[in-house]
């Protein structure tokens, strides 16, 4: 399972709240609270922006994520 974390623009890590909302609250990375596992259902394509460029699937049939700047 590939888990990852989200970091907000203010430098704080995103954590899930009991109500289902996500909040940028933690200053330090805690693997038990900050890790997320995404499962895409009925979504053909998704792109994330990170410090290294954009992260996305190579193509719609591929399960390989690539990052390019």
Residue 27: the pLDDT is: 86
pTM of the model: 0.52
Nearest to 45, CA basis, from 55, 63, 37, 57:
57
Q: Residue 62, SS3?
A: coil
Residue 35: the pLDDT is: 73
For the chain (69 residues), the mean pLDDT of every run of 10, in chain order, is 76 82 82 71 71 76 73
Rounded to whole angstroms, how far apart are CA atoms 21 and 4? 18
């Amino acid at each position: 399972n590939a888990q990852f974390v989200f970091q907000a623009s203010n430098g704080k890590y995103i954590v899930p709240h009991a109500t289902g909302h996500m909040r940028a609250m933690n200053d330090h990375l805690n693997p038990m609270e900050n890790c997320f596992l995404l499962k895409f259902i009925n979504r053909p394509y998704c792109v994330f922006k990170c410090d290294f460029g954009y992260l996305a699937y190579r193509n719609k049939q591929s399960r390989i994520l690539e990052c390019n700047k």
